[in-house]
Amino acid sequence: MQFDKNAIIGFALLALMFLGFFYFTRTGQLEAEKQQKHIRDSIAALQPKIDSNTVRLDSIRHEQQNKIASAGQFQAAINNVEKETTLETDVLKITFSNKGAQPKLVQLKKYKSIDSQDVKLVQQGFDKITYPVNTDANRTIQVSDLYFGGGEVSNDTDGSQTITYQLSDSSGKKIIHRFTLHPGNYMIDWNLDIEGVGSLLTQNSINFLWQNEVKQHEKDIITEKRETQIGYWINNEYDYFTLGRTSEKQFGSPLKWLSVKQKFFNTTIIAKNSFNSGSINCSESHDSTGVITAVSANLKMVLPAGNAANVPLQIYYGPNDYKILKNYDMGLQNVINLGQGIYAFVKYINMWLVMPVFDFFKRFVGSYGLVIALLTIFIRVLTSPLLYKSYLSGAKMKALRPELDILKAKFKDDQQGYAMEQMKVFRSAGVNPLGGCMPALLQIPIFFSLYSFFNGTIALRGQEFLWAKDLSSYDSILNFGFNIPFYGNHISLFTLLATVTSLLISLYGMSQTPTQDNPMMKYMPYIFPVMLLGIFNGLPSALTWYYTVSNVITLALQYVIQHYIIDHDKILAQLELNKKKPKTKSKWQERLEQMQETQKKLQDKTKTKQQGK
């Protein structure tokens, strides 16, 4: 292949112009931001000074007075001192507060966030679980505003720890929160006991408010936002919605559990007796805040008639680990995206093929990069018969090319006539013109299943391989500091390798295939590899590494099949033998020929009319 020297220089200058454009655009943006800040500071300097401390103290004082007025019989629980108690297992570290009797800080001890600290799924501020209670006539207060008593910790023989909080008034009404942590378990039990249900709750209903601010834990917040979903178990089946599609949802049917699922972690509230109804609202934040979304859920539960009630709840704070979630036997494993929407069918490929093979190799190989390579080899060996059929079909088409060239010269501009005769040649030789496409199409579901698998497999999180620091995210050998449309703000070396090997496959395929008459078809094999640069650059390096290995295997298989397995002389002899055999037409072939003949007649009539004019 020869390239024009002027074209190469032109492309190089064009690339330099693009880089210069992005650099000077970014510089101009920074200067404009600096000027806007100067203007805002100047305006602020002209405004009258307000003592912010005075405003804040007045606001706090007013809020405290409202709380005291709303506390009714529980006024003693308003003015108190917050006490924190920390319980730890081998996987969880939870700090409980007597204010609201609930978890204040939840840390996962085996996973680190982007700040190298333990992943925190609950933090002080927005996060809370609360519900209103009646304190007097026409007066209610949220339990999160009340200081509970107790906080004693008891240890059970199985290693579990239980912390108990209690709130009571002078009339005997009582609320008890009891949390139990189990060793090696991310699920905590929360038993809520209420005495005086008729007085404390309106119409025997408890209305939970669950707030959860989802923080960034991965380096790529854009991908993390895309993977964040709200999942729920309703009518004995799983459903979900993504943040980009909707921001709120109403639940009119009983709800078993509600989950806020990030890319690799989730927080799920579970009602053993189900919530009767509810709603959820999600508000998105700017990427610079490090907040993925703020979730507020209202969950209503109607309690049985009676003065005393026990509400058995559970809360899951943990990783999106398929085996861990599946062991709870309540459908929690469905929060992991192994295939959703129109690609839901690929989850069965993941569950029945990819995951078992991946886990098998993982038991014997320490490096996850090598595990992916072995998985790739296994899949390519499994699909090699499809690849062979594709190349065999291509070889048959190549053998028929001289005969098709004679037909093309004969019919010249009569494309319809050429198409009809071409189909007769294919049928006579026993060749399916789509035989080379179908095997390739059958491999597409495998690619989509692996895309979902590598995006959601927490086992790859933080695993290093070669230059990649984290196989669950993109590998970067150079960060630009600015974003290039369609490409991104970095260079992924695995993506470059995947692109180059894809280009080599296209070049090799072109060398083995007769020259295409359609100019667009000549360039199609080059367009797809270039598109990979933008599509794959932000994908997990596990996927781009898989694609690179897969391409290398494809190149090797192409060479072996073409040079050592396919006998071109034998194929030509077989085609000649097929032509001598009697042929039967299928109904589909008959209908196709009828359509072609009808179209040709219409084309001939149109041509005759044009010539008559």
Please report, for the domain that includes residue 325, its CATH number. Answer: 2.70.98.90
Residue type, 556: A
In 3D space, the residue among 368, 364, 400, 388 whose CA is nearest the CA of residue 514 turns out to be 400
pLDDT of residue 61: 53
pLDDT tens-digit series, residues 572-611? 665 556 555 555 555 555 565 566 566 656 666 666 666 6
What is the average pLDDT across 326-340? 93
Q: How far apart are CA 339 and CA 361, in angstroms?
A: 22
d(CA 146, CA 150): 13
pLDDT of residue 7: 42
Domain hosting 231: range is 73-336
Is 344 within the bounds of a domain?
no
Q: Minimal CA–CA distance to 403: which of 425, 435, 418?
A: 425
Averaged over 186-207, what is the pLDDT? 92
Residue 520 in this model has a pLDDT that exceeds 90? no
pLDDT of 235 higher than 60: yes
pLDDT of residue 485: 81
Computed over every residue of the chain, the mean pLDDT equals 79
pLDDT confidence bin for 139, thresholds 50/70/90? confident
Q: How confident is the model at residue 527 (pLDDT cuts 50, 70, 90)?
A: confident
Alpha carbon of 436 to those of 181, 386, 432, 534: distances in Å? 58, 9, 8, 27
Structural domain includes residue 440: no
User: Rounded to an integer, what distance in angstroms lies between the CA atom of residue 341 and that of residue 490?
Assistant: 30
- Whether 366 is covered by a domain: the verdict is no
Predicted confidence at residue 248, as pLDDT, reads: 84
The per-residue pLDDT for 342 is: 84
Residue 254's contacts (CB-CB under 8 Å, 6 or more residues apart) are 234, 235, 274, 275, 276, 277
Tokens at residue 318, please?
């943990």
Q: Supply the pLDDT for residue 243.
A: 79
Residue 394 confidence class, pLDDT cut points 50, 70, 90? low
Residue scoring higher pLDDT (288 or 178):
178
Q: Is pLDDT above 50 for 156? A: yes
Q: Are 126 and 144 in contact (CB under 8 A)?
A: no
Domain finish residue from 321, 336, 351: 336
In eight-state DSSP terms, residue 270 is E
Q: Is residue 308 part of a domain?
A: yes
259 belongs to a structural domain? yes
**Residue that is written with structure tokens 């993982």 in the block:** 362
- Provide mean pLDDT across the span 283-291: 79
Collect all residues with Cβ–Cβ distance below 8 Å to 134 and sequence separation of at least 6. Answer: 72, 140, 199, 200, 201, 202
Position 1 scores a pLDDT of 39
* Within a domain: 330: yes
Asked if residue 399 has pLDDT above 90, the reply is: no
The domain boundary, picked from 274, 305, 336, lies at 336
Helix, strand, or coil (residue 197): helix
Instruction: Tell me which of 395 and 159 has the higher pLDDT.
Output: 159
Six token digits for residue 612: 């008559």
Q: According to the model, what pLDDT value does residue 301 have?
A: 94
pLDDT at 121: 95
pLDDT for res 334: 94
Q: 95-123 pLDDT, tens per residue? A: 999 999 999 999 999 999 998 999 999 99
- Total domains, the chain: 2
Higher pLDDT, 1 or 380: 380
More confident: 482 or 251: 251
- Cα–Cα distance between 215 and 271 in angstroms, integer? 25
- Per residue in 440-499, pLDDT (tens digit) is 666 788 888 998 999 889 999 999 999 999 999 989 888 887 878 877 788 889 999 988
Tell me which of 294, 314, 336 is where a domain ends: 336
Q: Which residues contact 205 (CB under 8 A, 6 or more apart)?
A: 300, 301, 302, 303
pLDDT value of position 11: 45
What are the structure tokens assigned to 419, written together?
């198409």
- pLDDT of residue 294 exceeding 80: yes
pLDDT reading at 515 higher than 60: no
Within a domain: 303: yes
